[in-house]
Amino acid sequence: MKSAPFEHHQPTSVGEAVSLLESLDGPTVLSGGQSLVPMLRFRLANPDVVVDINGIEELDYLHEEDGSLKIGALARHADVEHSDLIAEKYGSFADAAPLVADPQIRNRGTVVGSVAQADPKGDWGSLLIAHDGEVVAQGPDGERVIPADEFFLLPYDTALDEDELITEVRVPVPSAREGSAYHKLKRKTGDYAMAGVGVRLQFDDDGVIESAGIGMTAVDITNARASDAEDHLEGERPSPDLFEEAGELAAEQSHPESDEHGDAAYKERMVDVLTQRALGDAAERAGVVRRTVKP
Ligand SMILES: Cc1cc2nc3c(=O)[nH]c(=O)nc-3n(C[C@H](O)[C@H](O)[C@H](O)COP(=O)(O)OP(=O)(O)OC[C@H]3O[C@@H](n4cnc5c(N)ncnc54)[C@H](O)[C@@H]3O)c2cc1C
């Protein structure tokens, strides 16, 4: 099947893109096209107007600036996967990138496009939540910064307005005693997560957990925060027992649905296990403990 006809605009600056989004009727943004193009082909999306942002070079970046890791709207999954900066300092992002879809989709699909798509099975939203990240949008009234916790409303529905363009997502640069990890269960290459857990642990100088962030994938109607587990971890010293309790709390706070990949009880159990494993990796990467997960 072919897509229905639509008008195609190719702005070369953010300003031009925002003017188009404001002035055109019912516009849809196209970035990597890995979700949108199949939807167009199957006529699940029938926009009259498509604003293709691939010519806006100023949106193609992945760097640290002003205390944040900033991922521009044209940074592809593969850019994260192959970044030395990510490999060196952002364990959870380095874990997640090679697990997104398959190499072809990673070469073209963008991190921001995945966040905008707001599929509860998408990986990046969970990491934005775990890292207390933000979505930066540009609209007719200027820039708007939306905390990750307020961005995901329902499956495929976000706090973004129709005339806004996401220019970047960002997370704080980790402190010296901080580590993060992402664990994901999927059946085969190219599949979305059956369940996934992203974790960030920040320690004080005495090795006590100062702050914890945990984001969950594919086990609720949106990417979701495991706040009970976070609260349980904060102010405590890492130990296998503590991580086991946190895993149980995360599982209790998840709401997976049964499907062809597994029943809800199995997925809840996987949240527990993945949380414990990610916590172990994060603590180890923070340099606080060598091994924290029970064998
Ligand atoms: C077979 C398959 C497996 C996949 N597996 C995974 C996986 O395991 N994990 C995962 O995270 N993702 C997965 N994906 C999704 C993949 O990450 C896509 O790249 C992503 O969903 C969309 O990114 P994109 O850049 O291709 O966006 P597009 O397809 O171009 O756009 C997607 C949506 O976001 C909107 N949008 C895009 N960019 C912006 C912007 N800058 N501002 C405002 N709105 C915007 C578009 O209007 C559209 O509604 C998979 C996709 C497929 C087809």
What length is written for the chain?
Answer: 295
**Candidates 34, 217, 223: which one to mutate for ligand 1, based on the most atoms within 8 Å of Cβ?**
34
The whole-angstrom separation of Cα 150 and Cα 199 is: 19
The whole-angstrom separation of Cα 253 and Cα 248 is: 9
φ, ψ for residue 193, nearest 5 deg: -65, 140
**Candidates 20, 28, 36: which one to mutate for ligand 1, based on the most atoms within 8 Å of Cβ?**
36
The whole-angstrom separation of Cα 275 and Cα 172 is: 22
**What's the confidence (pLDDT) of residue 188?**
85
- Nearest-atom index, ligand 1, CA of 30: 30
For the segment 237-283, what is each residue's pLDDT rounded down to a tens digit?
Answer: 999 999 999 999 999 999 999 998 889 999 999 999 999 999 999 99
Residue 121 pLDDT exceeds 90: yes
**What's the confidence (pLDDT) of residue 294?**
55
For the segment 194-220, what is each residue's pLDDT rounded down to a tens digit?
Answer: 999 999 999 999 999 999 999 999 999
- The finding on whether 124 has its CB within 6 A of some atom of ligand 1 is yes
Q: What percent of the chain has pLDDT over 70?
A: 98
Closest CA to 10 of 1, 20, 2, 25: 20
**Candidates 44, 59, 100, 117: which one to mutate for ligand 1, based on the most atoms within 8 Å of Cβ?**
117
- Nearest-atom index, ligand 1, CA of 166: 42
